[in-house]
Every structure is written in C-alpha cells, then in structure tokens.
Amino acid sequence: MTEQTHKAGFVNIIGKPNVGKSTLMNVLIGERLSIISSKAQTTRHRIMGIINDDNYQIVFSDTPGMLKPKYELHKNMMSFVHMSLEDADVILFVTDLFETDEEIEDVIEKINQSGVPVLLVINKIDLSKEGQLDAVTVYWTQRIKAETIIPISATESFNTERILQEILDRLPSHPPFYDKEELTDKPERFFASEIIREKIFLNYKKEIPYSTEVAIEDFYEEEKIIRIRAIIYVERSSQKGIIIGEGGKALKRIGIQSREEMEKFFGKKIFLETYVKVEEDWRKNKNKLKKFGYDQ
C-alpha cells in the first residue's frame, strides 16, 4: 500500500449573525468551544477549533457574524472576518432559511473574487416548510459562487458528516500546522470569559449583553481546583444595577451557571468570584477595546 499524504488546511466559517456558525463548528469538532445564543452578534472573536486525525488536520475558524459596523467594536469584529477570508483554503459560507444578503453584498463580492472554494451551507432545515429550501437554494446560488450546496441542521447534526467529506476532498497536502494534541489556539482563560459572556446573553435582555465584556483577572490552576476571578464590565452604572439584580440574585445566578459550565469544560472543580465594574462607552473607545483584546 502506498503511504497516504497528510492533508492540512484552514476552513473558515463565515456568514451573517445568528445563522448557526458557532453551533456548526462545535458539532464538527465535537466540543463546545464557541458560545451560542439566540441573540445576534454573540461571537466577537475569531475562534479556532481543530480536528486531528492520523491523516489530516482541519483548522476551523468560527467568526463573528458579518454586519455593517455601528460601533468601533463592530469594526474590530469585522476585521476578524476579513482576516479569515485571507488565509482560507476552504470557506464555509453559512446561511439559514431566513437570511438575505442585505448589508453584506460587498463581503460576498470579495468572497466571489477570492478564488477560494466555497461550500454553501444552508442551516436550520429542521424548520423548513414545503418548497422553502428550494427557494432559498435558488436565491443563494444566484449570489454566491459555490462549488456545492449542503443543506443541514446543526442542532440535529443532520448532514454535517457531508461537510467533512467535502472539506477533505478539497484540503491541500500539507504537514500539520499545529501540534496534533491541540484543540484550539485560544488560552484557557479566554474560554472562562466566554462562558460567563454566554450566560449573560442567555439571562439578560436588550442592550445588556451587548454592553457587557468579561475580563479574567486571575486564573490559578491547582491540582484539584481552578480559582477564577472575573470582572464583568458594563457601560453605565444603571446597567451595573441590572447585572447585579435585587439583593444580588441575578449576578448569583450568572455565577452558578458559569461555574457549572466551566466545571464541564475544564473537567475540574471551579471556584469563581465575579465583580461588576463600569467602563464607560467601552464599545466606542479604541484604547478600551485594546485592553479587552480587540487589537486588530
């Protein structure tokens, strides 16, 4: 038998907010790396998730949903999207049964010009009504130059194996880019902050999740326990009151839910302390954004 060549490459997941990009990446890699919520603009960074096999290494990147920037924060989020257009071997363009190309025509143009093979993934087909998938397929094939169209349901893991096969067919021969033990490029404390951010997205309404950022001040790993001190930053003191809630109840709930999720994620006992601070208008301020790790 001839020796198989090793394949490796970057597969970048892009699309509008809320179409299910993070849900899909987690299903493909089999780990809950990216946070998920029913609200748009949940993901704010480029997050790598790696699949390692003897014969291949696929480096996925989950990215923030594509949008027209309204805040300085959005510009940073979109720069992660543009960066991931540049180093992709394969683009997974994810949409669902409901999204249109409104506001993202220029990025689609850039993808069409890029020469990178595009797999068009139509998600949430578990919600499909008669004829809807056909109509959506026609709509998107007129807009994006895709090599193939893959209808899926990420939440039901339906047809996601086909995505892997289509990727492997297009992955270049290359030695691995990362150690075969690696699962992501982000440090552990990043995931601790994301887990808290997810619980905030799930528990608060309107502007609160969008006005919030989480910073991990301390992350001490001991043999049997990880001790974490997190600061939840909001933009105004009125929001601080909402996050804490009556008698501290709301913040306590966030603490409990986050700790439980972290214990699953890190596989260790967690001691978590959370504090709330005001960092006025951090979403509009370049220096404050830099401090929070948006330094593109």
Residue among 154 and 196 whose Cβ is closer to ligand GTP = 154
The Cα 209–Cα 230 span in angstroms is 16
296-to-33, 77, 214, 216 alpha-carbon distances in Å: 22, 9, 18, 20
Residue type for position 272: L
- Nearest-approach distance from CB 1 to ligand GTP, in angstroms: 39
The Cα 206–Cα 194 span in angstroms is 19
Residue among 8 and 125 whose Cβ is closer to ligand GTP = 125
Residue 19 in the binding site for ligand GTP (CB under 6 A): yes
- Nearest-approach distance from CB 33 to ligand GTP, in angstroms: 12
Q: Of the candidates 11, 79, 68, 18, which has an alpha carbon nearest to the alpha carbon of residue 43?
A: 18
Residue 22 in the binding site for ligand GTP (CB under 6 A): yes
Number of residues that bind ligand GTP (CB under 6 A): 23
53 is in an annotated binding site: no
In residues, how long is the chain? 296
- Nearest-approach distance from CB 50 to ligand GTP, in angstroms: 18
47-52/56-62 β-pairing: antiparallel
- Nearest-approach distance from CB 125 to ligand GTP, in angstroms: 7
Residue 32 in the binding site for ligand GTP (CB under 6 A): no
The Cα 153–Cα 10 span in angstroms is 23
Residue 81 in the binding site for ligand GTP (CB under 6 A): no
Cβ-in-10-Å burial (0-12, 13-18, 19+) of 16 comes to buried
Please give the residues from 35 up to 54 whose contact with ligand GTP meets the rule CB under 6 A: 36-38, 40-43
7 is in an annotated binding site: no
Site string for ligand GTP, 106-145 (x = CB under 6 A): -----------------xx-xx------------------
Q: Which residue shows structure tokens 């890190």?
A: 266
Where is the binding site for GTP, in residues?
15-22, 62-66, 123-126
Binding site for ligand GTP (CB under 6 A): 17-23, 36-38, 40-43, 64-65, 123-124, 126-127, 153-155
Q: Which residues are annotated as a binding site?
A: 15-22, 62-66, 123-126
